[in-house]
Amino acid sequence: MAVKAMSEVGIDISKKKAKRVDKYKEKKFDLVITVCDQADEECPVWLGSGKVVHISFPDPARAVGTEEEQMAVFRAVRDDIGRRALYYLTNGRVLIPGVNKYSPENEPAA
């Protein structure tokens, strides 16, 4: 379902595979954004370079219901990741639903 959700926005992940974070430990990064659901799983610890920011999202693979209901969860998480990562990059702080407000004018021009 993740492949389908991403293809709907023009991103092909059909040949992508999950990789262990230690594979990238020696690479230089300015920023690492982790996106796992900290309440439900243990996020990998980043020991490489760069500032680490965590933005928690529910795991859409745990969605239940009809196929369309599950796809709706994948789409919502996909869109939320994009919105909240962009908010962080634009504003330098994590958007927390219900705490601070998302505003489209905070987005940079495309």
**Tokens 């196929």 -> residue:** 67
Measured in Å, how far apart are the chain's first and last C-alpha atoms? 27
Grade residue 110 by pLDDT with cuts at 50, 70 and 90: very low
For the chain, the domains span 2-8+26-105
Give pLDDT, residue 58: 87
- Tally of CA atoms within 13 A in the half-sphere of 110 that contains its CB: 1
Grade residue 92 by pLDDT with cuts at 50, 70 and 90: confident
Q: Once rounded to an integer, what is the mean pLDDT over residues 86-92?
A: 89
Give pLDDT, residue 10: 96
Measured from the Cβ of residue 52, the count of other Cβ atoms closer than 10 Å reads: 15
What is the chain's mean pLDDT, rounded? 83
